[in-house]
Structure 1
């Protein structure tokens, strides 16, 4: 009997030993095995022994505590289901008070998950007391954690308990510690959605107004997020009376971080307050943010221009844009900060479909052309990457002559990442500019990239050719691309000869077996005699890829003899890849 009892305690004994081990990784692994241990113990012993042990053992490395907090959120079935879920609260409560923020946040996430699994009576008897204890904790860590739990508990408790929860939340919003007020401000919008309308107006909006005027800018900026949630719950008159005065102050806040948050959330605010208030109040506010003295605020606002204009009421959209927004846009095009110009360039093309052909040609086109000549590569790239918006409205011809110098400059930029970005946009450009313009102006650029000194560029250039063939067709490839690629097989630089093989691998997929056999296979077979082993083993790899798409007669008469020769190569890698190709093509 004693033996059996000792044996039944084995999982806990092992866990204790592992959690006391000096090796953090071992302790972490043991925590990740908790569900397996719980299954071995069964639900009763998990509740009475394992959970109790874990509650008393929370004094570990942050990494281990984080894993524990995550595991416990998935433990409900292992303790016997929702009826017993409250037994998971003690270890999670302890984890919600630790110093490390990520551990506390994960513990709160798990508490929020298991809150939904509590019955209303268990919520009141077990979960709400936990929220109250955390709310009144001596350390700010527990009080910050409490802020995230109100919204999940509130909807399913009695009126008297709801009143208590509102009082506790009120206390947290006026806490002496800024970190607690910050946490409360961050969760105010979520709590507002859970609270009844009468208490939203009587209890929470005064809290919102206080937090939005807090001495700490880190608290005020989080109140802006709450503003979006609260405004979406209120009617037109209530927004005007209760929210707008605070929103106006936030737009002109002395801290740029608060104004940045307003700019970042501006289109969400726009949707929350509705079209009438947008026209009367938010348009002037948006103008102010677009002209802000801080570049970060201007950049955040510039990012929102297209979406803000799209969300305007159709009956006043054009008039508002032309009168109030476009003058600001014209100033931003020549802004002194490259991040502002880049942000604008990423959205300005989107104004074209909104304003139509005439306004685009008269007012926007000069701005596009200015940005295409900007000294900052990102600005030029952002314009080029959004050309499809303008193409739909006025056609690309209006821009093509100005596009060319910008594209060439980007294609030859000293920074390889800039060159890479323009390569990725080339198929889009090709489709919009048409095959004649492309062949005349851009084809040679695409071939130049194939011999770039950076491998990433050469690799992207081969994929670019494949996409261009998809767009312009096999006949174009046979006349324009394949002859130039084959020419690379004779290049003095072995890296360029290898690029030739990589191109053929991709072009063969697009051009089909006839063109492959007639134009490309002979080149590969010739390259099997190359003096560089790297080229020869890439020949073997290419033959393996091509062989899968060719008829058996060609494979047996042309590919097999070449692979048979390569498998006897003096270089071990060449022989290896030749054997691999023979096996893949079932030629042995």
Structure 2
């Protein structure tokens, strides 16, 4: 407390000591919060020689008190005599930056950053930078018993790498990163795996390739077959980027086998991450080399005996097509996509139909007219009625993407012809298709071509055919309905 006359200049350190030793946490907290007042009373010299050493030696309090202290010291520059003496604040803040409670450490680091801007270049080098002598602490953190500590080191590794510079990176961070990639906890390995590309990019250019090939690649190879799907997925999201770092020869010899293994991984996310980044490899080794290496694996998966595997590859096909381009797709993958349309599993045929629509959206209506539509329409004459129905499903999906002209001139005649199919399932799907593509057609086609066929199907001997034809005629939201108002009302 202040002296009897209320003069804060008489405030003795002994009183502060008594208050900070009081069992009442709130009293101790209040004392810390008025440190600036106490420092003003003491003057800059006593603050430096008495107050700060006392605070440095007595950092053992409740987290709430330590947090307030860490915040207060960040504003103490002028109270210790200005920038010339600001280095006096480093010892107590350094101690606070090592306490167990995270929020206290964060606040201490925040205050350290704040006062670092008030150091002169010389003082930074003499007083502040010795605090970046963090390697013993970093090594200890990278091997900490708590996996959460090791996880945070892995998660912030790229930032640490940039902060310490190339020499420390080569001598200290490379071994630490290897250990994190081999950590016993999957969460740590996953965090480190995500940093592989960035870590390799930030390595010193003159020794980058040597470090990767000698120290990092062996760890990466182990992670490709990791027991955790999360680890494999994390690695798959960045591993393709190593191609641009290591170059063509190393990619072909060392990375492509890893890509092939991941492309066959049982985890869909791993396969997706590889396919999503094929363009990185394409830029380095070229489409021909890529097709020779990866295409067989893609084809193998596309023809896998397990239909769920085939389904996964179909879902990735539009993405793959976009990565590889239309010419490569037409040459290597078009036939594959058409083969899926006659797969014995309905889910595959359905997915293949959706796949065609996405490909048309990607490559355009003209490409569809020349490449896809003729093959789809050719299936209308297939002996298997399931394949004939697939033609209708494809038309339903493709009509909007292909537009009015292609739909009217090429697709509509086939649909109308199929209204005479001997199989009732095909005929009622014709009715459903006419309702589906109706909004794409012009009014003349609806009136002169679609209307007569639907009227005929509405009198079909099969009850399902009649039902769906009548539904198409009086469909509430169908463009067709405007041409049948009179018939329905009568």
Residues 210 and 450 of structure 1: CA distance in aligned 2, closer, same or farther (over 3 Å): same
The Cα shift of 1:206 comes to: 3.0
What is residue 263 of structure 1 aligned with on the other side? 154
Change (3 A) 1:207 1:492: farther
C-alpha displacement of 1:538? 4.8
Equivalents in 2 of 1:371, 1:294: separation in Å? Answer: 21
- 1:189-588 equivalences in 2 (<5 Å): 196=74, 201=90, 205-211=94-100, 237-238=128-129, 240-241=131-132, 243-270=134-161, 278-279=169-170, 281-312=172-203, 317-318=208-209, 320-333=211-224, 340-369=231-260, 371-372=262-263, 379-413=270-304, 418-431=309-322, 433=324, 438-439=329-330, 441-452=332-343, 457-470=348-361, 474=365, 476-489=367-380, 496-529=387-420, 538-566=429-457, 570-571=463-464, 572-580=467-475, 583-585=478-480, 586-587=482-483, 588=485
Deviation of 1:521 (Å): 0.8
Shift of 1:248: 2.0
In 1, distance between residues paired with 2:212 and 2:304? 35
Q: Distance in 2 between matches of 1:380 and 1:402?
A: 15
d(CA) in 2 for partners of 1:429, 1:191:
57
Q: Kindly tell me: are residues 194 and 460 of structure 1, through their superposed partners in 2, closer, same or farther at Cα, counting changes over 3 Å?
A: farther
Confirm or deny: 8 A CA contact 1:560 1:582 kept in the other structure: no
Q: Match of 2:316, SS?
A: helix
Q: Deviations over 1:198-239 (max 9, x none)?
A: 699555653442318xxxxxx8xx999999978977678548
Summarize the alignment of residues 171-182 of structure 1 with structure 2, pairs less than 5 Å apart. 171-173=61-63
Q: Tell me if the contact between 2:93 and 2:111 (Cα under 8 Å) persists in the aligned partners.
A: no
Task: Check conservation: 1:371, 1:383, Cα contact below 8 A.
Answer: yes
CA distance in structure 1 between the partners assigned to 2:324 and 2:246 by the alignment: 23
Measure, in 2, the Cα distance between the counterparts of 1:228 and 1:454. 60
**Alpha-carbon distance in structure 2 between the residues aligned to 1:536 and 1:378:** 40
Distance (whole Å) between structure 2 residues aligned to residue 422 and residue 194 of structure 1: 59
The separation in 1 between residues aligned to 2:477 and 2:353, in whole angstroms, is 26
Whole-angstrom CA distance in 1 between matches of 2:259 and 2:108: 36
- For the 8 Å contact 2:392–2:429, the answer to whether it is kept is yes
CA 1:401–1:359 in structure 2 vs 1: closer, same or farther (change >3 Å)? closer
Shift of 1:533: 7.2
Q: Answer 1 or 2: higher relative contact order, Cα 8 Å, separation at least 6.
A: 2
Bigger Cα Rg? 2
Identify if the C-alpha distance between structure 1 residues 504 and 388 changes in structure 2 by more than 3 Å, giving closer, same or farther: same
Q: Deviations over 1:255-310 (max 9, x none)?
A: 33432342233334445666665455433321221233444433331222012233
* SS of corresponding position for 2:192: helix
- 1:5-84 residue pairs with structure 2 within 5 A? none
User: How far off its partner does 1:484 sit?
Assistant: 3.3
Contact (CA 8 Å) 2:243, 2:251: kept in 1 or not? yes
TM-score normalised per structure 1: 0.56
Pair 510,211 (structure 1): closer, same or farther in 2 beyond 3 Å? same
**Quick one: distance in 2 between partners of 1:459 and 1:575?**
25
Instruction: Compute the TM-score of the two structures, normalised by the length of structure 2.
Output: 0.66
Contact 1:228 1:269 in 2 (8 A): no
Shift of 1:562: 2.6
Instruction: Return closer, same or farther for 1:250/1:309 CA change in 2, 3 Å cut-off.
Output: same
> Which is further off, 327-336 or 190-199?
190-199
Question: What secondary structure does 2:475 align onto?
Answer: helix
**Tell me, which stretches of 5 or more residues in structure 2 are unaligned?**
1-23, 27-31, 39-54, 78-88, 117-123, 486-490
RMSD (CA atoms): 4.8
- Aligned-partner Cα distance in 2 for 1:204–1:501: 74
Native 8 Å contact 1:332 1:340 kept in 2: yes
Name the SS of the counterpart of 1:562 in structure 2. helix
1:407 to partner: Cα distance: 0.9
Return closer, same or farther for 1:489/1:369 CA change in 2, 3 Å cut-off: same
